[in-house]
Amino acid sequence: MQGGWKLFLLFGIFFVAAFAAERLLVPQVVPVGFSDEPQALWSVETAFVLRAIELMSGGVAILALLAVVAAWAKQRLSQIAR
C-alpha cells in the first residue's frame, strides 16, 4: 500500500507541475490548431505536450488512488470477517 501512495503523490506532482507550466508558458493557447486568430506553432505544440502530460499523469494518479482505496477496503473487510 505504501507503493500506491508514492505513485499517487509522484504523478500528482507531475500533474501540478505540467498544469503550472502550461499556465505560465502558454497562457490562453488552446492545444489545437484551429483558432480565430493565428497562433505560433511552438506555443500550440507546447500546449499540446503539456496537456498530454497533464492528462496522462492525472489518469495514473487516479488509478493509483483507486488501487490504494481498493486495497484498504479489502484489508478492512478481511479484518471485519474475522
Position 48 confidence tier, pLDDT thresholds 50, 70, 90: very high
The pLDDT assigned to 17 comes to 97
Q: Hunting for cell 492528462 — which residue is that?
A: 55
Q: Which range marks the domain in which residue 7 is found? A: 2-81
> What is the reported pTM?
0.82
Predicted confidence (pLDDT) per residue in 6-35, tens digit: 999 999 999 999 999 999 999 888 766 666
Predicted confidence (pLDDT) per residue in 30-45, tens digit: 766 666 777 888 888 8
State the average pLDDT for the chain: 90
Domain count, the chain: 1
